[in-house]
Amino acid sequence: MPSENSFFDSCQRLTSKVWRAFLLVNLAGLAACSAVPPSEPPALHVPAAFKEGVPGSSVWQTAQPQDAVPDDWWRLFNDPVLDQLQQQAQQANQNIALALARLRAAHAALDSSRAALAPTLGANAASTRARSNGSAGPSIATADSIGLAAGWELDLWGRLSASAQVAQANLQASADDLAAMRLSVQASVVQTYFALRAAEAQERLLGETLAAYQRSWDLTQNRYRAGVASSADVAQAQATYLSTQAQRIEAQSSRAQLEHALAALAGQAPAAFSLAPTAELPAPPPVPAQLPSRLLERRPDIAAAERRVAAANAQVGVARTAFFPALTLSASAGYRGTSWGDLVSAPNLVWSVGPALAATLFDGGARSAAVDAARAALAQAAASYRQTVLVALQEVEDNLVAGAALEREQAVQTEAVAAAQRALGVVNNQYRAGTVAYLNVLSAQAQVLSAQSALIGVRQRRLAAAATLLKNVAGRWEATAPAQ
């Protein structure tokens, strides 16, 4: 019987041969063409500058994952209360928490994909007792075993690495989705906050108007008692006062609902959230005269769309590798015997080692269908990327137009308020002198209220347009020198 040392020498020689064979096969695999097609961003013509800005000389570049959204872009509005709300929202908003959980899941998927590239090692122990019938009659035998088993699928055609590429791209897309969600929540907080302050401003305006209408009503009643005004004048003054009071109640209701919306954005129940009224709207930050289209390179939704194109492209490679055989190296070693007492001994040693090659010869077209499906998914991801870029360009152009138009509209509306107030002063003096009817006073008062209310609305929309534009360019803009 051969000695234990000669047995292990034989194992060593065999293992050496297996490793040499493995190296040759691996080198052949490296020389083979990869099944994963090269990934490139979908072609799309993007102008160097936005249509509504001064033409520039910047060129479009694809978004990079390291181009993070700048922090604290809302500080351009110089509002400490808004700063505090943003901090609360970033810490407790549940949509952000959901995106963060999805990012952790993508991390786990990547780790799982990478683990498939490494060999596996397992241990086993078993004890069985079996009865069998033979020529000598029935017999009962006990079999005990312990051992180790290892396996390793060689990534000759890039299937496992392509799967890891898919997971890596999906992870980057999830990270960009998280950045996009944060930016979206920040913009929602800004817009809701300014809408709330505008509702407060409307409520304050209506309160001041009610006081003025009360004085007009009192004056009309005095003139009625003096016999110089009709009961119709008194009724009209009362109707104007009550309708304005109803508008004030509506403004109060709108303000309460917007406060509830801010509470939800900040991750709190409305009953536990309150905001002190100020009725103040800040001045919007000035928009640079020139905004190059390269600002969109930082947008996380565009970056996420690019990562999904890369993931779909790698998935095409995964589907194509199904046409190639899979090579697996496996090895096992252990002891098998009839008694635990002398199980670990040379006579009970068993082992096996060797490669295994497996290939599908016929599948009814399933693999071809999987490749077609992967290519269709790639086309969908490419179309989604192009549409994301086009929508982003449209959003910036729209808000550039809105911001410029609202700036001019605010200047005109301010003049309209001043003119309406001058007209009301003249009509009030004429009414006291008895030269005009009270209907003229009501008309002038309505014009003042309408002009002042419209001015508040314009200011709010201008702030919303500036905040939306900042969101559209991923949180900040950069002024550039005009083209010479």
Are 171 and 360 in contact by the 8 Å Cβ rule? The answer is no
What's the Cα-to-Cα distance from 176 to each of 75, 322, 391, 400, rounded to whole Å?
23, 31, 17, 25
What is the per-residue DSSP string for 310-372?
A: HHHHHHHHHHHGGGS-EEEEEEEEEEEES-STT-SSGGGEEEEEEEEEE-----TTHHHHHHH
Question: What pLDDT does residue 51 have?
Answer: 60
Question: What pLDDT does residue 267 have?
Answer: 92
Question: What pLDDT does residue 155 have?
Answer: 83
Distance CA 26, CA 23 (A): 5
Distance CA 181, CA 175 (A): 10
Question: What pLDDT does residue 368 have?
Answer: 92
Phi and psi, residue 253, nearest 5°: -65, -40
Distance CA 356, CA 353 (A): 10
Higher pLDDT, 243 or 132: 243
Mean pLDDT of 148-162: 86
What is the per-residue DSSP string for 285-301?
A: PPPPS--BGGGGGG-HH
Question: What pLDDT does residue 49 have?
Answer: 62
Are 392 and 299 in contact by the 8 Å Cβ rule? The answer is yes
Q: Which secondary-structure segment (H or E) carries 401?
A: helix 366-432
Are 187 and 476 in contact by the 8 Å Cβ rule? The answer is no
Domain ranges of the chain: 1-31+119-154+325-358, 39-117+158-324+366-472
In this structure, of 307-316, 372-381, 429-438, the range with the lowest mean pLDDT score is 429-438
Count the helices and strands in the chain (H runs, E runs).
Answer: 8, 4
**Which among 321, 447, 482, 301 has a CA at the least distance from the CA of 384?**
301
pLDDT by residue (tens digit) across 349-389? Answer: 888 888 888 888 888 899 899 999 999 999 999 999 999 98
**Which among 305, 287, 445, 324 has a CA at the least distance from the CA of 389?**
305
Distance CA 467, CA 287 (A): 11
- Cross-strand pairs, 152: 329
Distance CA 380, CA 309 (A): 9
Question: How many residues belong to the chain?
Answer: 484
Distance CA 410, CA 111 (A): 55
Q: Which secondary-structure segment (H or E) carries 103?
A: helix 94-115
Q: Is the pLDDT of residue 239 over 80?
A: yes
> What DSSP character marks residue 65?
T
Higher pLDDT, 481 or 386: 386
Question: What pLDDT does residue 263 have?
Answer: 95
What is the per-residue DSSP string for 158-209?
A: SHHHHHHHHHHHHHHHHHHHHHHHHHHHHHHHHHHHHHHHHHHHHHHHHHHH
35 — pLDDT class (breaks 50, 70, 90):
low
Q: Which fold has domain 1-31+119-154+325-358?
A: Outer membrane efflux proteins (OEP) (2.20.200)
pLDDT by residue (tens digit) across 176-228? Answer: 999 999 999 999 999 999 999 999 999 999 999 999 889 888 888 988 888 88
Question: What pLDDT does residue 380 have?
Answer: 94
19 — pLDDT class (breaks 50, 70, 90):
very low
pLDDT by residue (tens digit) across 171-187? Answer: 999 999 999 999 999 99
Distance CA 10, CA 1 (A): 14
Distance CA 60, CA 48 (A): 6
296 — pLDDT class (breaks 50, 70, 90):
confident
> What DSSP character marks residue 446?
H
Q: Which fold has domain 39-117+158-324+366-472?
A: Outer membrane efflux proteins (OEP) (1.20.1600)
Distance CA 389, CA 327 (A): 43
In this structure, of 69-73, 119-123, 284-288, the range with the lowest mean pLDDT score is 69-73
- Whole-model pTM: value is 0.78
Question: What pLDDT does residue 356 have?
Answer: 87
Q: Is the pLDDT of residue 134 over 50?
A: yes
Q: Is the pLDDT of residue 73 over 90?
A: no
Q: Is the pLDDT of residue 262 over 90?
A: yes
25 — pLDDT class (breaks 50, 70, 90):
very low
Question: What pLDDT does residue 54 have?
Answer: 40
Mean pLDDT of 268-283: 92
One-letter amino acid at 446 equals A
pLDDT by residue (tens digit) across 74-126? Answer: 988 899 999 999 999 999 999 999 999 999 999 999 999 888 888 899 999 88
Question: What pLDDT does residue 335 have?
Answer: 86
Mean pLDDT of 405-419: 94
In this structure, of 13-22, 147-156, 232-241, 426-435, the range with the lowest mean pLDDT score is 13-22
In this structure, of 30-39, 344-353, 427-436, the range with the lowest mean pLDDT score is 30-39
Higher pLDDT, 476 or 208: 208
484 — pLDDT class (breaks 50, 70, 90):
very low
One-letter amino acid at 93 equals N
